Structure 1
Amino acid sequence: MTHADVAPEARADLDPAVAQEVFAADVALAQLTTMRVGGHAERILVARSSAELAEFARELWDDGEPWLLLGGGSNTVVSDDGFPGTLVLVRNTGIDAIADATLADGEVRVRVQAGHDWDALVAATVERGLAGIEALSGIPGLAGAAPVQNIGAYGCELADVLHSIEFLESGHAEPRRMSAAELELGYRDSAIKQGLEGVVLSIDLVLTDRSPAHGAHQVDGQGIDPDQAEATAPVRYAQLAQALGVELGAHVPLTQLRSAVLALRASKGMVLDAADHDTWSSGSFFTNPIVAASFAVTLPENAPRFPVQEAEVAPTVTSLEDIAAGAPLRASHGAAGTPSRQVKLSAAWLIEHAGIPRGYRLPGSGAAISSKHTLALTNQGGASAADVAELARFVVQRVQQEFGVILAPEPRLYGLEV
């Protein structure tokens, strides 16, 4: 395999000046990730089709050399030393309807190539009147990364609509169709994230056709004249309902819901904007910790707590109290194998109430807490990957000291320790 050029569009959503250039293999990760930090890879390959992506993967596995798969770069932070191997850029795009006789009336199955921009996908489905992922508007990155992280926001997550993925597993010659159930999706988690090695080539979603062209709609059991109808979806998140000025569970037009989500994300610096350094980040840097309810009661009364279904996921952290009692890290069961009751905490609240305000930065550092949201670590211009890691360690230490909770980073980290 030879070196391939990085497509100009690879940075079109990040820096128009940089996007005018065509990079060869000496491009830095700082130019390909939304955090805008990181050194060079030894070489770069660009996969513009699923077949090419699979071919690159097979050859690299056979070669045995280290390699890194990179989509939109919104969930990856690489050290200043760079990556000691090959960088494979995922750039296969396209959306296709898939015939599926097993679907219920009004359901539509779509296949999305792994390199398709996620928010462009959401925009296309909303325009078509397909409901299911409108609350995931504005999430940066590409479609192939969505099942790895089980992305979610505002009361919706990919697990709600994912049908299957086309997956090339390490050591296998041909891709296979892998169901959503096989992926064992949990809170920002999946079998892939937990170690299943392979490459996502495409994803299949099952969405609901709420377009007037589909016929009479049913909202709360009431039929709507198709000529008067507008594609709608229920509001499932309190903050979103408040922003829309409606009751939780109310139906609003898909376009209105998408606009409200984008506005909320922008207010938190979570919509990419080259002119806004608060968006030079990897989004939420820490996951909201899931802990035993018995530990959560030891936190201040005003600490937000959210119920978690027993089967959702093992705790993402183990409290110091539990460790002292001999519990293993990430223990998920109580006595006799009975799942313990769990609650989800707000990482943003823990950070802020550990004495780390919005906009905080360590002396001399180019990295800072976002001025809009304490959950985001940002590059305020000239930050190094070391700056980001140092700030992340400081946050983890302060929250641990104040509340006995160890925060876990959400993005993939290479050559860095938090």
Structure 2
Amino acid sequence: MTKEFQQADLSGRNSFHVKQRAARLVEFETADDLRALFAAGIPDRWMVLAGGNNVLFTCDYDGLLLTPVSQKIEVTEDDGERVRVRVDAGVEWDDLVEWAVRRGLWGIENLSLIPGKAGAAPVQNIGAYGREAKDVIERVEMYCVESGSMLTLDAAHCEFGYRESVFKHALKGRVVITAVEIALTRTPQPHLGYGDVEREVAARGGATLRNIREAIIAIRRTKLPDTAELGNAGSFFKNPIVDQPVAERLKTEWPDMPLYPAQEPGKAKLAAGWLIDKAGMKGYREGRVGVHERQALVLVNLGGATGGEVIALARKVQTAVRDRFGVEIDTEVNIL
């Protein structure tokens, strides 16, 4: 079943709370809904707007927005240790994490409190505290707009990378994700080696699923603003990946600079938040927008800002980092 809106107000459907409109917005539940919707033809412009947590509208959207609303979570296989779970695209990601923790299932606890829908997780390959969605995703179910058929893509063909996937490139504008299949385990597999996680977990009594989830929630809440109070999209910038010699040179100049291994050989990952801070932009404000005072990766709408104002600030931050370190930082947020 679908629900359609004309000239839809998007201010409550994007976490930046930017006041733009969409010519047409349709909430859908099933693949049959999508099939019926596209039966009349494929619109010139369309895209999926799930939770609106990784998007910045800079103008009204003159096409069709699709929003998944089905919220079913079901176990499809359980051998006593390994548990496979099918999750509808409309499920809130953090609701899924809580669902897993309550059932003693390991694998996504480090991804606690990440805003957004489950269907968006493979697109962005969401990640936090040393873990990524690709670590648990086995398959992605999707509706092919061109053929009108359902397809299933194995994780090996999703081309997952750091905040990357095939859904942002070859399959962009061609498919609609309807569900994600993930594999969890009952065998404890704590990952505590990132940031303050180990200390916070120890303070709660040790590495249980519940303690890890609560520790990460506490850490995130101290660093990230509540979207209900300050419009934002979480991390606005990606951590830059640079050649190892560049990383070593910077580390020599800045001994306290955080440095992490990258998946690609001969590369290293820098901390964009640290770079922004040292470039003097943490806490910077300009009119109705600003860089958050506790987490420099986050740009915030201080009240009534437009998408254009946010973009202008982002460019200023990028320029400051480039001038100070000679490093480019790319945006993580989808800008429309």
Shift in Å at residue 174 of structure 1?
Answer: 0.9
Shift in Å at residue 304 of structure 1?
Answer: 1.6
Shift in Å at residue 251 of structure 1?
Answer: 6.1
Aligned partner (choices 115, 119, 123) of residue 98 of structure 2? 123
State the partner residue of 2:239. 288
CA distance in 1, matches of 2:313, 2:201: 35
State the partner residue of 1:320. none
| Residue 202 of structure 1 pairs with residue 127 of structure 2 | no
Shift in Å at residue 55 of structure 1?
Answer: 4.0
State the partner residue of 1:77. 56
Shift in Å at residue 172 of structure 1?
Answer: 2.2
CA contact (8 A) 1:53 1:201 kept: no
CA distance in 1, matches of 2:299, 2:227: 15
Q: Which amino acid aligns with 2:192?
A: V
Secondary structure of the residue that 1:252 maps to in structure 2? coil
Secondary structure of the residue that 1:130 maps to in structure 2? coil
Shift in Å at residue 169 of structure 1?
Answer: 3.0
Shift in Å at residue 372 of structure 1?
Answer: 1.8
Shift in Å at residue 190 of structure 1?
Answer: 0.5
CA distance in 1, matches of 2:263, 2:46: 37
Shift in Å at residue 273 of structure 1?
Answer: 5.0
CA contact (8 A) 1:48 1:90 kept: yes
How many equivalent pairs are there?
331
CA distance in 1, matches of 2:84, 2:133: 14
CA distance in 1, matches of 2:11, 2:307: 9
CA distance in 2, matches of 1:37, 1:357: 22
State the partner residue of 2:276. 351
Q: Please tell me the root mean square deviation across aligned C-alpha atoms, in Å.
A: 2.3
Secondary structure of the residue that 1:291 maps to in structure 2? strand
1:59 and 1:265, CA in 2 relative to 1: closer, same or farther beyond 3 A?
A: farther
Q: Which amino acid aligns with 2:11?
A: A
Alignment of 1:17-166 (within 5 A): 24-56=5-37, 58-59=38-39, 62-79=41-58, 81-99=59-77, 105-166=80-141
Shift in Å at residue 68 of structure 1?
Answer: 2.2
CA contact (8 A) 2:232 2:298 kept: yes
State the partner residue of 2:291. 369
Aligned partner (choices 365, 387, 394) of residue 316 of structure 2? 394
CA contact (8 A) 2:125 2:161 kept: yes
Secondary structure of the residue that 2:162 maps to in structure 1? coil
Give structure 1 stretches of 5+ with no counterpart. Answer: 6-23, 211-218, 220-231, 311-339
CA contact (8 A) 2:72 2:88 kept: yes
| Residue 169 of structure 1 pairs with residue 144 of structure 2 | yes
1:251 and 1:51, CA in 2 relative to 1: closer, same or farther beyond 3 A?
A: farther
Shift in Å at residue 4 of structure 1?
Answer: 3.5
CA contact (8 A) 2:232 2:301 kept: yes
1:370 and 1:290, CA in 2 relative to 1: closer, same or farther beyond 3 A?
A: same
State the partner residue of 1:190. 165
CA distance in 2, matches of 1:199, 1:54: 11
State the partner residue of 2:190. 233
CA distance in 2, matches of 1:122, 1:38: 31
1:85-141 per-residue CA deviation (whole Å, 9 max, x = no partner) reads: 1121221211011137xxx65000000000111101111111111111011010000
Identical residues among aligned pairs (%): 35
CA distance in 2, matches of 1:375, 1:54: 39
Secondary structure of the residue that 2:285 maps to in structure 1? coil
CA contact (8 A) 2:86 2:179 kept: yes
1:180-203 per-residue CA deviation (whole Å, 9 max, x = no partner) reads: 001011111111112323111100
Shift in Å at residue 46 of structure 1?
Answer: 1.1
Secondary structure of the residue that 2:207 maps to in structure 1? strand
Shift in Å at residue 298 of structure 1?
Answer: 2.8
After superposing on structure 2, the runs of 4+ consecutive aligned residues of structure 1 that deviate more than 6 Å are none
CA distance in 2, matches of 1:403, 1:51: 51
Aligned partner (choices 250, 261, 266) of residue 307 of structure 1? 261
Secondary structure of the residue that 2:26 maps to in structure 1? strand
Give structure 2 stretches of 5+ with no counterpart. Answer: none
Q: Which amino acid aligns with 1:368?
A: G
TM-score of the aligned structures, taking structure 1 as reference length: 0.75
Kindly name which structure, 1 or 2, has the bigger radius of gyration based on alpha carbons: 1
